[in-house]
Amino acid sequence: MDVLDRQHLEIKRRHKNLRTAIVEGLGMDQIVACAKDLIDVTIGHFKSEEGAMEENKFQGLSAHKLLHAEMLESVKKIWSDLERRKISNAMELMKFFDERLVFHLEQEDIMFERELRTRM
Ligand SMILES: [Fe+2]
Ligand SMILES: [Fe+2]
């Protein structure tokens, strides 16, 4: 569980880096690099979280996998637009992480944590 918590913090750190790059107007190169970094860390986290859920035979695994898949689909769509280097796409990605991903980390991931805790 420590690993997953640490990954959540990593996502939040990258999310903050992207915000800084946009707010401080560091330029599209920097913004795209931060966006890619954030997306990569998020994809990696989803994989290891699903692995941990599988290992622990978490009941909600398939529903949770679906949530991850839906989010990745949105992220990939925004990313393919962002490669055209428009600031509006960077803002769209920020908005997605601000709203959807924060909700996921803070609300939807909690059921698994709770289930693990009841087994300890
Ligand atoms: Fe998570
Ligand atoms: Fe998750």
Query: Percent of the chain having pLDDT more than 70?
Result: 98
User: What total number of domains does the chain contain?
Assistant: 1
22-74 pLDDT per residue, tens: 999 999 999 999 999 999 999 999 999 999 999 999 999 999 999 999 999 99
The CA 108 to ligand 2 mean position distance, Å, reads 7
Kindly report the CATH number assigned to the domain that includes residue 15. Answer: 1.20.120.50
pTM: 0.93
Domain residues for 46? 2-119
**Could you tell me the distance, in angstroms and rounded to a whole number, from the CA of residue 27 to the centre of ligand 1?**
30
Cα–Cα distance for residue pair 18/15, rounded to 1 Å: 5
105 in Cβ contact with 5 (< 8 Å): no
pLDDT at 49: 97
> Could you tell me which residue, 117 or 46, shows the higher pLDDT?
46
pLDDT at 120 over 80: no
